[in-house]
Structures are given as structure tokens and as C-alpha cells.
Structure 1
Amino acid sequence: MFLASACFCAAFVDAIAGGGGLISLPAFLAAGLDPHMALGTNKLAAFFSSSGSAFKFARSGKINWDLIKYLIPFSFIGAILGVKAVILIDSKYLYPIAFFLLVFVLIYTLKNKNLGSHDNFQGVNSKNLKLGILMAFSLGFYDGFFGPGTGSFIIFGFIEIFKLDFIRASGNSKFLNLASNIASVITFIYYGKIAYMYALTVGVVMLIGANVGAKVAVTRGTKFIRPVFLVITTIVTAKMAITFLQQL
């Protein structure tokens, strides 16, 4: 029940503003999975979440297909390389890495309070496309390597590079997340790092949560969810810190 509830909240939050992995990954770790298995299982479950929110945004007309088609392949390739990199790291090193990344993501989220209030997208050009490709590849790699916070970073990237408003940035970010999730899932399957019973059961719950969250994002925006997201992120970071200290 705890795992399903946590992952529903993760999918709901992720569909609105990214960062759902900050909730779902620690939940899988708390369920007793070792770090590598938790990463792979979380990726397969998150595939359902990404699919639900991505297509909800698409049906609402919030996706810029002329832009996203250039970026998806680089997100896919980056994620494959990220998974290959994380498989080479001993599990005992993942907790401190996870903790410091969570702290960084929390600080980043707190400092960026008013992302994308206006849509000033002027089209794709050579400069923003190169930056977008770099963003897609590097965050695809990060998503495959670790994951939590990827959605927030991608949203910020779309806002800063392409000047999209928050809702359109969030919508487009879901398709980059979906591409990196698919690549990560394929690679984790190859390495045998997925607990399918957990992933498929929780995946259905996350699909429902993502659809609800995306609907809220399209109709109401993100102001009401921000304080909740920050509180949850702080709690998860604190939990990871305690776990890390217990291992010392």
C-alpha cells in the first residue's frame, strides 16, 4: 500500500512539474530492492507514468512536434549510455551519490520560483537546436544513470533555451522523459535489473496518477503543487540522508 501510494503521488507530481523520481525511487528502495534493481524497476514503472502524461499533454495540444522530433533521438542515446555507466558502479556507492544529487535538485528547485510565466518561443534555429541537443543528450544520460529530478531539469532547459512557458515546457519534457525511459528500460532488461512484479503492478497505479496530474497541469497550472512538491522533496532528501548515515 505504501509503495502504490508513494508512486501514485510521484506520477501525479511528475506529470505537473517533474521530480517524481524523488518520490518513487526511494519508495522502491524502501520496499527492499537493492539500488541497481530499484533503478531498473523504477524505470519500467515510470514508463507507464511518462506515457500517460505525455499523451495527455499531446491530446491537449501542448507539444511542439517540430521541435521535439530533433531532440528525442539524443535523449534515447544518452539514456542508454547512462544505464551502462551506472551498472558499472558498485551498489554501495549509489546512496551517497543519490543523496548529493537530491540535495542539488532541492536547492535548484527552491532557487527557481517563477519558471516560464510567458511563452516566447520564436522557432527552432541553429543556436537553440544545438543547445537543445546537448540538453537532451546530457539529461538523457543523467536519467539513465540516476533519474530523480530529470523532469525538472528538462522543463528548465526548455524554458531557458527555447523560451517556452511552463505548461508547454512541461508537456514537451514528457516526451524526452518517455524516450529516455524507453531506452533505460531496454538496457535494464538486458542487464536483468528489473523486478517485474513490482514494476508492472505499480506501473498501472503510476499511469493513473500521471493522467490525473497531467489533467491538473493543463487546467490549473502548477502554483498549487509547488509547496507540496518542495515538502515531499525535503522529506525524501532527509530520508536518504538518514539511510546514508546509517551505512557509515
Structure 2
Amino acid sequence: MLANAHIALKILFLCGAGFLSAFVDAIAGGGGLISVPAYLAVGFPTHFTLGTNKFSSSCSSMTSTIKFTKSGKTDKNILKVLLPFTFLGALTGVRTVLLLDSDILKPIVLILLLGVGIYSFFSKSIGLEDNFKGVNKKILIIGSIFSFCMGFYDGFFGPGAGSFMIFGLIKIFGFDFVRASGNAKAMNFTSNFASLLMFSLNKKIYYLMGIPVAIFMIFGASLGSKIAIKEGAKFIKPIFVTMSLVVAVKMLYELI
């Protein structure tokens, strides 16, 4: 009886953390800052944490992608080019993390996240206006390389992936925060799904806890996407900057 109650409390805790994680992630990325430590806190081994989190976060990123797409905040022609590279990158990333220790990336990612957060904070105009002028071959090549790298990173390590995706899409394509968030969610769902396949094949997912968490994450993602689309770029930017810096601070604390 006590064992069942203990499991129920763990699931309840994970569902609450999952809802909050998906809500924040749908707006500006960084949801893994909440969900991954939550899985670790209830005693999941590292690889099962990453695998189960990919399962539940795939459901939330799919929900966000659908919401943004229905609102016209994604670019299907661009995504047709970028998403296959994201998918391949994620497969490669998960395959690599199953062989290597992902901690080797922490110092590099820390510096990059701090740079993204600080640059976005001091740049008053970044992401507030949609400066998309169309694409050419050069931009698509840069975007494809970026997509593969983001897919690999998300599969291999993950923290801050949403922030990197949003920032990169703004700089490469000139999107505002809303449009960048919508396209980043499609990329994030693709990398999550590819990673999910790899973790599933390697039997690194606890479905018993992952399924209820996924349900709550769907609700969180739906609410977060709705607010992001309604409130616009000026609402997203401060949350984006905050999440980028919070993830960086957390990683700095772990390194120290």
C-alpha cells in the first residue's frame, strides 16, 4: 500500500513539473530545465531520464507545433528543407550519447547560452519585428547545417536546445520571436521524435510514468502556445532571455 502511494506521489510530482515545463517550453524553450531534473529527482538513471523525457516532451512539442501551424506561424516550405537535417542530426546525437558522456559539452554550451541570453537582452530590436525577406540557396544551406547541428545537440545533450533554435532562426531567416518559436517547435518535435525512436529501440523509456506526464505536458504546451501566439514577440522575448540565462546559471552551478 505504501509503495503504491509512493509511486502515485512520484507521478503527481512529475505531472506537475511536466505541465510547467511544457508551458514554458512552448513560449520560449528551456522546458528541459524543469522536466529533466524532475525525472532525476525521483530516481531515474541518466539514460532513462533522457529517454522518458524525450517521450513526454515529444507529445508537448507536437502539440505546440500543431498550435503554431494552425495560427500560420510556421513556414512549411522552409521546414521541408530543414526538418530532414534535424532528424538525421538527432539520430546521430542519441547514438553518440549512448556511447559517450554528454557532460563533455557542458562548458561549451554554458558559454553559448550566456552569449545568446546577454546578446538578446542588450539587443533592443532582435526578434521584435519580422524581417523575413524570403530565402535563397545560401540561406537554405546555412539553415540546413544549423538544423543538423541543433538536431545532434538535442539528441546528444538537450538543455537550451529550444533557445538555440529560436535564436538561430531569428539570425538566419530574420523571423520575429513568434515565428521563430513556431518553426523552432517543429524542429524540436522532429529532433524529439528521432531521439525517441533511438531511446525506444534501446529500451531506455519508463512508459508507466512517461504516459501520464505526457498528458499533462500536452495541456501545458497547448496553453503556452496559445498565450505566446496571442501576446506576441514582446511577451516572448523577456521569457526567452530569462530561460536562456537560467539554464546557463544552472549549468554553471553544476560545473562549480
Q: What's the TM-score, normalizing by structure 1?
A: 0.88
Q: CA offsets per residue over residues 3-34 of structure 1, 9 Å max, x none?
A: 22222111111111111112211111112111
Offset at 1:98?
4.9
1:110 aligns with 2:121: no
SS in 2 for 1:112: helix
Q: Is the 8 A contact 1:26 1:236 kept in 2?
A: no
SS in 2 for 1:117: coil
Q: Is the 8 A contact 2:132 2:173 kept in 1?
A: yes
Offset at 1:102?
5.1
Of 227, 232, 239, the residue aligned with 1:221 is: 232
Which 5+ residue runs of structure 1 have no aligned equivalent?
A: none
1:158 aligns with 2:169: yes
Letter in 2 for 1:162: F
> Residues 121-160 of structure 1: matches in 2 within 5 Å?
121-160=132-171
State how far apart, in whole Å, the 1-side matches of 2:218 and 2:130 are: 28
Q: In 2 relative to 1, CA 25–120 (structure 1 residues): closer, same or farther, beyond 3 Å? A: same
Indicate the residue corresponding to 1:15 in structure 2: 26
Q: In 2 relative to 1, CA 154–230 (structure 1 residues): closer, same or farther, beyond 3 Å? A: closer
Letter in 1 for 2:156: F
State how far apart, in whole Å, the 1-side matches of 2:200 and 2:51 are: 8
Q: Is the 8 A contact 2:22 2:224 kept in 1?
A: yes
State how far apart, in whole Å, the 1-side matches of 2:207 and 2:28 are: 27
Indicate the residue corresponding to 2:210 in structure 1: 199
Indicate the residue corresponding to 1:41 in structure 2: 52
Q: How many correspondences in the alignment?
A: 242
1:65 aligns with 2:72: no
SS in 2 for 1:123: coil
Q: In 2 relative to 1, CA 102–200 (structure 1 residues): closer, same or farther, beyond 3 Å? A: farther
> Residues 21-36 of structure 1: matches in 2 within 5 Å?
21-36=32-47
State how far apart, in whole Å, the 1-side matches of 2:148 and 2:108 are: 22
Indicate the residue corresponding to 2:188 in structure 1: 177
Identity between Structure 1 and Structure 2 (%): 47
Of 212, 217, 231, the residue aligned with 2:223 is: 212
Q: What's the TM-score, normalizing by structure 2?
A: 0.85
Q: In 2 relative to 1, CA 104–198 (structure 1 residues): closer, same or farther, beyond 3 Å? A: farther
SS in 2 for 1:193: coil
Q: In 2 relative to 1, CA 240–119 (structure 1 residues): closer, same or farther, beyond 3 Å? A: closer
Indicate the residue corresponding to 1:50 in structure 2: 61
State how far apart, in whole Å, the 1-side matches of 2:240 and 2:210 are: 23
Q: Is the 8 A contact 1:13 1:229 kept in 2?
A: no
Offset at 1:53?
0.4
Q: Is the 8 A contact 1:140 1:180 kept in 2?
A: yes
Which 5+ residue runs of structure 2 have no aligned equivalent?
A: 1-11
State how far apart, in whole Å, the 2-side matches of 1:228 and 1:70 are: 29
Q: CA offsets per residue over residues 157-176 of structure 1, 9 Å max, x none?
A: 11111111111111011111
Q: In 2 relative to 1, CA 99–222 (structure 1 residues): closer, same or farther, beyond 3 Å? A: farther
Q: Is the 8 A contact 1:13 1:225 kept in 2?
A: no
Q: CA offsets per residue over residues 171-212 of structure 1, 9 Å max, x none?
A: 011111111111100000111111111211111111100000
Of 101, 104, 108, the residue aligned with 2:109 is: 101
